[in-house]
Amino acid sequence: MNAPGETGAAARRVVLITGATSGIGEACARTFRGRGDNLILLGRKLETLRALANELGEDAVHTIALDVRDRAALGVDQRQAASRCRVDKGTALLE
């Protein structure tokens, strides 16, 4: 949740979406980005993720190609995503 009075980049949330390459995941990505949120998109299809990030604005979208059912892959990629985020006044920002 944003602090009262925050606007611009500091007011943006970071939303992590699994299954972002199709269906409900893709629809959620479009909806949250349309509201101005930064996104971390996870999906198995790298080229589809890249195309979606390009369409939604690569400056506010980070993509991670992986299968969330693969626990070993999740450990590495969680750190990768976390390295792109910082907290400013209680709000997580994607850099």
pLDDT digits (tens, 9 = 90+) for 56-86: 998 999 998 888 777 666 665 556 666 766 6
The whole-number pLDDT of residue 10 equals: 53
Is 7 in a helix, a strand, or coil?
A: coil
pLDDT band for position 4 (cuts 50, 70, 90)? very low
Q: Which residues contact 33 (CB under 8 A, 6 or more apart)?
A: 39, 56, 57, 60, 61
The whole-number pLDDT of residue 34 equals: 95
Q: Please, how many CA atoms are within 13 Å of residue 19, restricted to the half-sphere of its CB?
A: 7
Task: Note the pTM of the prediction, 2 decimals.
Answer: 0.66
- Arithmetic mean of pLDDT, 12-31: 93
Residue keyed to tokens 């943006």: 12
